[in-house]
């Protein structure tokens, strides 16, 4: 599949990125941010880190650096942010509060193939024709950084099985947070938790800093963190081994720092406002 992208279009997309970064840098640290809506520019995070040795350099010779754009909420960006934090990848992240004009938001409505976020470019993906669809981005990044089982098709498929199951598990969050285990069988939380542990039996040990995490494991971490934040201890009540896994995964270098940083945005209300109340732009610069 060949792509006929003109240099002119690519230059235009680079100029859109530069304009978004300039506006974000110029925005005052005192600006009040409530979640989605009402901000003058995107949030800009130039993430610089030393890639962990167990992962592959995502960027090949001649390719542009990774730019990842999502909204100024956790939402569909969070597994991707957690993956990049785990790998300690360097990249540019832009988070849109959706109040800013599209000229200062990389024209994502026009550039994104489905007109929605998240989008990514770089690492072989043109700026002017980014990738969209969160799961497609997750799989692309997993393949580039070596977070897909490190082997052949079957290993990749096993990671995908875990990835999809972790997403099914997230749909049970309400029950798990409430401690309601009344759904029986393989659709219930108890059996799913046991099956997830079995799926991970032959995967990298998250307690071992030098092991590689795969994208299914990162998706699981994202799901478990969300549940545990809603009601501390609910994962442990469901499954002690899963709780132990969660603690080890959340404590890994890269992930631990990310979770404490200003890039880990607060949870939002159904109206997409931070449930912890308004913050100021300067708060997001905490590292």
Ligand X SMILES: N[C@@H](CCC(=O)N[C@@H](CS)C(=O)NCC(=O)O)C(=O)O
Does residue 116 belong to the site contacting ligand X (CB under 6 A)? yes
DSSP strand pairing (32-33 vs 43-47): unpaired
C-beta of 5: minimal distance to ligand X in Å? Answer: 22
C-beta of 139: minimal distance to ligand X in Å? Answer: 12
Distance, CA of 105 to chain centre: 19
Distance CA 268, CA 265 (A): 9
Q: Near ligand X by CB under 6 A, which window of 13-21, 133-141, 190-198, 199-207?
A: 133-141
Q: Order across the sheet with 119-121: list the strands.
A: 43-47, 91-96, 67-71, 119-121, 131-132
- Name the nearest CA neighbour of 138 among 66, 73, 219: 219
The neighbour count for residue 25, using CB atoms within 10 Å, is: 10
DSSP class per residue in 233-267: THHHHH-HHHHHHHHHHHTSTTHHHHHHSTTSPPP
Tell which one of 92, 121, 134, 165 touches ligand X (CB under 6 A).
Answer: 134
State which residue, 117 or 192, has the beta carbon closest to ligand X.
117
Does residue 117 belong to the site contacting ligand X (CB under 6 A)? yes
DSSP 3-state of 91: strand
- Name the nearest CA neighbour of 199 among 165, 236, 170, 235: 165
Convert residues 186-225 into a mask of x (bound to ligand X by CB under 6 A) and - (unbound): ----------------------------------------
C-beta of 273: minimal distance to ligand X in Å? Answer: 15
Q: Near ligand X by CB under 6 A, which window of 56-64, 82-90, 129-137, 167-175?
A: 129-137
First to last CA, the chain: 41
Does residue 165 belong to the site contacting ligand X (CB under 6 A)? no
Does residue 226 belong to the site contacting ligand X (CB under 6 A)? no
Residue 121's beta-bridge partner residues? 67
Does residue 133 belong to the site contacting ligand X (CB under 6 A)? yes
Site for ligand X in 55-84 (CB under 6 A): 71, 75-76
Q: What is the DSSP letter of 271?
A: T
C-beta of 71: minimal distance to ligand X in Å? Answer: 5
State which residue, 54 or 135, has the beta carbon closest to ligand X.
135
Which residues bind to ligand X, rule: CB under 6 A? 71, 75-76, 116-118, 133-135
């Amino acid at each position: 599949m060949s792509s006929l992208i003109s240099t002119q279009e690519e230059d235009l997309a680079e100029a859109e990125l530069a304009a978004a970064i300039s506006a974000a840098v110029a925005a005052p640290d005192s600006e009040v941010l409530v979640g989605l809506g009402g901000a003058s520019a995107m949030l800009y995070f130039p993430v610089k880190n030393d890639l962990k040795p167990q992962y592959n350099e995502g960027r090949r010779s001649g390719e542009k650096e990774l730019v990842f754009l999502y909204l100024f909420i956790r939402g569909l960006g969070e597994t991707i942010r957690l993956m990049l934090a785990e790998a300690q990848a360097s990249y540019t992240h832009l988070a849109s509060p959706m109040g800013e004009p599209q000229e200062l938001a990389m024209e994502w409505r026009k550039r994104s193939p489905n007109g929605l976020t998240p989008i990514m470019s770089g690492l072989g993906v043109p700026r002017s024709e980014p990738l969209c669809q969160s799961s497609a981005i997750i799989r692309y990044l997993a393949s580039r950084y070596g977070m897909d089982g490190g082997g052949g098709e079957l290993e990749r498929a096993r990671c995908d099985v875990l990835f999809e199951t972790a997403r099914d598990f997230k749909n049970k969050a309400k029950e798990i947070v409430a401690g309601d285990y009344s759904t029986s069988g393989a659709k219930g939380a108890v059996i799913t938790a046991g099956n997830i542990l079995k799926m991970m039996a032959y995967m990298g040990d998250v307690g071992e800093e030098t092991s590689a995490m795969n994208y299914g494991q990162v998706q699981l971490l994202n799901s478990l963190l969300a549940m545990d934040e809603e009601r501390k201890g609910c994962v442990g009540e469901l499954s002690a081994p899963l709780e132990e896994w969660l603690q080890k995964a959340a404590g890994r270098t890269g992930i631990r720092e990310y979770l404490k940083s200003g890039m880990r945005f607060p949870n939002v209300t159904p109206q997409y406002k931070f449930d912890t109340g308004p913050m100021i732009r300067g708060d997001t610069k905490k590292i």
